[in-house]
């Protein structure tokens, strides 16, 4: 299993995530569409925050079920947290915030988040 180091643009929000990434989601919800995120899903325990949780800015909208985290300094949104359909804690990582990932090698699947 691969381990990736990720961060926001300025580095204030830094994390590691462990798991394989071969497919990402391109969501068209109002949030993802604007930020241009390509998202990979992981169990929440696969993500280790390397900076204080108090450094995270968090935005919730619509059903307020997902914590969209961002850096209050540079504004980049490296990951979000919520629950999967089965109720387990999960995280969606913006793979554009993982410098070690070859984006051209990933299968991109469209997700109609705008309809939810």
- CATH code assigned at 87: 2.170.150.70
pTM (two decimals): 0.90
Q: Which domain holds residue 56?
A: 3-115
Q: How confident is the model at residue 66 (pLDDT cuts 50, 70, 90)?
A: confident
* pLDDT(65) > 80: no
**Res. 56: pLDDT tops 80:** yes
Compute the distance between CA of residue 3 and CA of residue 112 in angstroms, rounded to an integer: 29
Count of domains in the chain? 1
User: In the chain, what percentage of residues exceed pLDDT 90?
Assistant: 78
Question: Does the pLDDT at position 50 exceed 80?
Answer: yes
Contacts of 64 (CB under 8 A, 6+ apart): none
């Amino acid at each position: 299993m691969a381990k990736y180091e990720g961060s926001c643009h300025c580095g204030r929000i830094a994390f590691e995530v462990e798991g394989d990434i071969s497919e990402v989601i391109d969501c068209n919800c109002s949030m993802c569409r604007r930020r241009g995120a390509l998202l990979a899903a992981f169990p929440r325990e696969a993500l280790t925050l390397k900076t204080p949780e108090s450094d995270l800015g968090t935005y919730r909208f619509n059903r307020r079920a997902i914590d969209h985290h961002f850096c209050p300094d540079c504004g980049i949104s490296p990951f979000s947290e919520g629950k999967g359909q089965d109720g387990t804690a999960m995280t969606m990582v913006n793979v554009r915030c993982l410098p070690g990932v070859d984006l051209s090698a990933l299968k991109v699947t469209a997700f109609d988040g705008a309809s939810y």
